[in-house]
Amino acid sequence: MSEAPSQQAENPQQEPTIPQPPRRTRRATRRSHIPTDPAGQAELIASLARRAHPSVELFIFSLACGAILGLGFLLDSQVVLLFGILVAPLMTPWVGFLLALLSGSLRFMFETLMALLISLIFVFLGGLLTGFTARLFMPITLNNVFIHARLWLPGIVVFAIGAITLVASFARSENKPFLPSVLIAYAFFLPISASAFGIGSGLPDVWLQGLLVFSTHFALTGILGLLTLYMLRLRPSFGGIVLSGAALLAFAATLFVLTGSGSPSGTEAVTPSTPTNAIQPSPLSPTSDLAVAPQASATRTAGAATRTSSPAKTPSPVPLTLEITLPPTETPTVTLTLQPEPIYGKVSANEGGGANLRDAPGGTYIMTLLNGTIVETYSEFQLVNNVTWVKVIAIVNGQRIEGWLLESVIAYATPEPDFDPTVRPQETFTPSPIVTVTVTP
């Protein structure tokens, strides 16, 4: 009886041992919510920075991605381009760049920014080399180069969702966000590769449009990524407030300049323009090049009737000669210029919701005609790199716009034209001969 109290005194109120969950489960539980205390946020940002730090895999997969994307543009194959995007590396250094802006770490920002730049250079070199190779096989079809060197509204929406999802999933879970990373790689690498391919193959203005599209995608996803980090209640330091604020202003200014100064986009406003060589679909009316000054004059020469009167003689008739000489009359030559009958169709691009209108085949970008826009053509066409370009006229916002479209994006409402040269018959009238009438009674 005396031993029980002593044992209780030696072991006062022992608590039962609770088994600890595995380490991976503890980390997942910790990431299910963002800590609000300064120490917890500092630990979380440091952990995210370690995961987002660039590695050698980024450069290896970027090099392979650039080579495959260039091959896809050379073969004009969407399947090869999709395979190249799937080979692209995880875009965690882009998230690391945003974290560096938020935390105010200049060193980490420089490291992640340089890693992104090097990966973009590798993709650029792949497109450039295959672009030079394409010169050996000209003329070939390169529709995908033009498609991925312009902005598409559905693509912008998808990239925005990808940017928000990538940042949120990366911050809240330790799993690798493959699908959102593929969307960001699509937004960055395809325009850069198309721009480089345009330089190598000699396509006019494609390289500049590709760079503008990449800049727009980078600015838009950067704004949405930083706003997502703010929404996750990650508190920036004082330096992070300065850096992230400056970055947001720079991204917003880039978007304003690119979308407001005429960069190619699917929702671009139509600027008033004066089309050259406009074809007026007026009813058939002959065009007469007439310089007619008919001078119909009759010269009548009549001999004066001389009468010799004598009281003893009867007056004898005097012969009267009437000579009418008609000068040559200029008969106008009428040249009938028959206007060809217009052929109507509508824009029906397979991708992107519209097609680019240019001032010449493969020339300077004018605007985007959305799918369903009615156009008319007069069978005026040109072949450039084995691609048929058709001259069209469209009415957009009350403006008559004239330019060139790829023939493959037009669905004709009337029978398709055979693109034969326009026949312009001429009708010529021969001048009438000179008529001289001599009347002798």
Shared-domain flag, residues 244 and 386? no
For 330-358, write each residue's pLDDT tens digit. Answer: 555 655 555 667 788 888 887 767 888 88
Shared-domain flag, residues 117 and 253? yes
pLDDT of 233 reads: 81
Classify residue 136 as exposed, middle or buried by CB count within 10 Å of its CB (0-12, 13-18, 19+): exposed
pLDDT of 274 reads: 37
Question: How many domains does the chain contain in total?
Answer: 2
Shared-domain flag, residues 92 and 183? yes
Q: Which of 212, 242, 260 is the last residue of a domain?
A: 260
Percent above pLDDT 70 for the chain: 66
Shared-domain flag, residues 102 and 204? yes
pTM: 0.56
Shared-domain flag, residues 356 and 227? no
For 384-421, write each residue's pLDDT tens digit. Answer: 878 888 898 888 777 788 898 888 888 876 566 665 54
pLDDT of 378 reads: 75
* Contact criterion met (CB below 8 Å) for 406 and 388: yes
For 10-31, write each residue's pLDDT tens digit. Answer: 444 444 444 454 555 444 444 4
For 44-93, write each residue's pLDDT tens digit. Answer: 888 888 888 888 889 999 999 999 999 999 999 999 999 999 999 999 89
pLDDT of 25 reads: 46
408 assigned to some structural domain: yes
422 assigned to some structural domain: no
For 143-198, write each residue's pLDDT tens digit. Answer: 899 899 888 888 899 999 999 999 998 888 888 889 999 999 999 999 999 999 99
**Residue 215: pLDDT above 80?**
yes
219 assigned to some structural domain: yes
Shared-domain flag, residues 253 and 347? no
* Contact criterion met (CB below 8 Å) for 201 and 142: yes
Q: Cα(206)–Cα(134) distance, rounded to whole angstroms? A: 15
pLDDT of 339 reads: 60
Shared-domain flag, residues 46 and 158? yes
197 assigned to some structural domain: yes
267 assigned to some structural domain: no
Q: Cα(38)–Cα(111) distance, rounded to whole angstroms? A: 25
CATH number at residue 371: 2.30.30
391 assigned to some structural domain: yes
Mean pLDDT to the nearest integer, 85-112:
90
Average pLDDT of the chain is 75
pLDDT of 260 reads: 61
Shared-domain flag, residues 66 and 169? yes
Q: Which residue range is the domain that position 350 belongs to? A: 343-412
* Max Cα distance, the chain (Å): 203
Shared-domain flag, residues 249 and 371? no
**Residue 280: pLDDT above 70?**
no
Classify residue 10 as exposed, middle or buried by CB count within 10 Å of its CB (0-12, 13-18, 19+): exposed
Q: Which of 260, 280, 312 is the last residue of a domain?
A: 260
Q: Which of 229, 260, 291 is the last residue of a domain?
A: 260
Shared-domain flag, residues 78 and 174? yes
* More confidently predicted of 422 and 363: 363
Shared-domain flag, residues 243 and 376? no
241 assigned to some structural domain: yes
Q: Is 313 helix (H, G, I), strand (E, B) or coil?
A: coil
56 assigned to some structural domain: yes
Residues 6 or more apart whose CB falls under 8 angstroms from that of 258 comprise 212, 215, 216, 219
Residue type, 409: V
Shared-domain flag, residues 81 and 218? yes
pLDDT of 287 reads: 39
pLDDT band at 305 (very low <50, low <70, confident <90, very high): very low
84-88, 134-138, 281-285, 407-411, range with the lowest pLDDT:
281-285
